[in-house]
Structure 1
Amino acid sequence: MKWRTRFAVLLAFLLSAPLMWSLNRLLVGELKVPVASGDASRLVPILSPDETSRLLTFARSCEGNEDCEAPLVCLRELKWKRACVASTCATDADCSGGLSCYSVAVGERVVRMCGAPGEVAEGAFCTELPRERNWACAPGLVCTHMSCRRPCQPQGSQGCPAGYFCSAADVKGHVCLPTCEGRACAEGERCVALDHGVSVCARVHGSDCQLNPCPVGQVCGVSAGKMQGQVWMKCELPCSKQAPSCPEGFSCIGETCRQRCRADEPGSCGPLETCAGASERSLGVCIFDFNK
């Protein structure tokens, strides 16, 4: 479910701001909190122009880290494209024009680059590719799992407030994540399970496949949009990049079969969906329309 959820949320953001980033500026997520202790080996280093000139894959398109020469990583760019990159900063002092130094997890690695200084509050939607302040977390918070979270220590004095738990460590350390287990939700909402042990009180749109299981062979896709307290669900066909098995008219995106569509063909997607990523030269795919 993790890739389906992250993919749908990311596409929703791209749909609302399709030209927010440029290909020559791979601005990334939050660096205010250091990488988890003992994980310095996961950091992608800063390379000099002479070093990058000797790497044939630098700035080249890629599908995964295996397509990039070490120590480069394959970072997602605009419109799902990826490129082999290295870090461009270590601290805010390395960034010009009032920008801040951020980090983004790429698999088990972390790459650092310059982006807009943040102002997004705890729990609000954020992106690890911030071009503007209103998409980046405020100082002291971490953009992880598409929301701004405060760091925590599960066995230390720095804990989480009521309604939160201290997550398992990832490449960005431990953070406080929400849980609604054991408490009542408002009328019209219920406690919905998301990824990473998170659960939130939310109104469900679409088919609530957590309560009503999907047919055999399908999986329950759960997507949380920018609006808090709202989730979208539907049964989906799983697939894999190594052996895609989607029916005709579908593409395997993020381990899920997504229906292909054209932006100029109304009704090509479901009633709660929109056609994302389509252009005059290529088809898009149907995703949940978080504005409906």
Structure 2
Amino acid sequence: MTPRTLCLLIAFAAFVTAVGTAVWLAWPGPDLTAQADLSDDPVHLNFEASDDPDSDASEPPDVVVLSNGIRLTNIPTHCRADTRGSLLCEDRCDSDAACPADRVCAHHPDFGFRDCLPLHRYCDDASDCTASDVCHPVDTSASGQALRRCVPRGALPAGARCTGYARGLEGECAPGLLCVHEFCGPPCNVHDPDACASGTECAPNPYRVLGACVPSCRDRACPQGERCETDYAGEVPICRPFIGPACLDAAPCAANQDCLRGFAEPTLETEAFECRTRCDAKAPCAKGLTCDETSGYCFQPCTLDTDCPTPERCHVLHRRESQRGCGFIAEGLPAFHR
């Protein structure tokens, strides 16, 4: 290789490296004004939202698209979508005698239809369970036989807040209660209009048939520091705690501000709201604030959490930058409320 060729190769490599570096540096950070709101994530276990509610005709046999656009996968072929955003399933048996000797005609724990289920799933007394469980009644067979199952010895009563979006009996809740939409409640079927007591509604499990009776705020006001909200259209409205101004309800932001939403640390269960002032070259921020050009909102620079007013915290505004600002979420500015 001649010296001239070697010089050309080195120059070409340097050019490629320079272009790559320039592209990386110029690549925009996340669009913080459209940042995803994790509380609206429709994926729970194995169901998701469909972009086309009418696309069920082209779906695989085990996929059902509900009337509200929710797309369920791994669905039994004898279950279909109804007009209320849930599933309607046909029973597979009508008596215990219709099942083999080692099975019983009972309700499917996820979908609610009667099917021949193995007897070994159930217990007779506490001796069939571990020390941390209790043999609790969970169902009645098609022929009237009481069925019990080993469930955790939870302590939370109906109406108490619990963790998660459970598909079955939850360890935090007292035996016989489910944890759905962050509340413990007695089991219910979404197709039974009288399944729940006054002040509660049947919040569906991920399979949209069975669920739990949870406190509803549809016809009542929430306590101070909480707001009535649903995750999706048609869901049971529940009271959720929040911090910051009630700028989506009774305390709207000023004309030059937007009500932005994020999550308060360290938990994702509490919502956070704040009024952020819009800014650009023609509309600078007030003294002490800096305009974030990526999002177009003013922020308060900071180095430590103690530089921010409580309950805000100091966080990195963008992943590829070291600039930090006060806010209510771990990273980036809060997103618009959807």
Greater CA radius of gyration, 1 or 2? 2
TM-score normalized by the length of structure 2: 0.34
TM-score normalized by the length of structure 1: 0.38
- Higher RCO by CA contacts (8 Å cutoff, separation 6 or greater): 1
